[in-house]
Amino acid sequence: MATTDSKDGEEKQERIDISTAMRKAAGQLAELLRCEPSSVSSLKATDDGWTADVEVVEIEKIPDTTSVMASYRVSLDGQGQLVGYERIRRYARGQVDR
């Protein structure tokens, strides 16, 4: 990982790139929840790192469109380490936002 010198002489690690942040957000949430995320629906840089919204199938049902999905907000530091997460929404897979 590349480093840069700050004003006070300390070395500071550079922020990871957006594609790495997306993979790390999904991967670390999958490890915690023990299920594979369906998608990353939002990813944005913050002052402290990254925030991502990750979609997960919480309850599989038949037909597939009635499965229960959840959206989790994941917070990463600038180097991609998970610092927090929360479930922000639950919905049926077939539900369309308006």
Cis upstream peptide for 37 (omega within 30°)? no
Nearest to 73 by CA among 95, 43, 49: 43
Contact criterion met (CB below 8 Å) for 68 and 57:
yes
Triad 71, 21, 12: Cα angle to 5°: 135
Nearest to 46 by CA among 88, 80, 9: 80
| Identity of residue 94 | G
Q: What is the pLDDT of residues 71-94, one digit of tens each?
A: 999 999 999 999 999 999 999 998
Note the pTM of the prediction, 2 decimals. Answer: 0.82
The proportion of the chain whose per-residue pLDDT surpasses 90, expressed as a percent, equals 74
> pLDDT tens, position by position, for the chain (98 residues)?
445 455 555 556 789 999 999 999 999 999 999 999 999 999 999 999 999 999 999 999 999 889 999 999 999 999 999 999 999 999 999 887 77
Q: pLDDT at position 50, please? A: 98
Q: pLDDT at position 52, please? A: 98
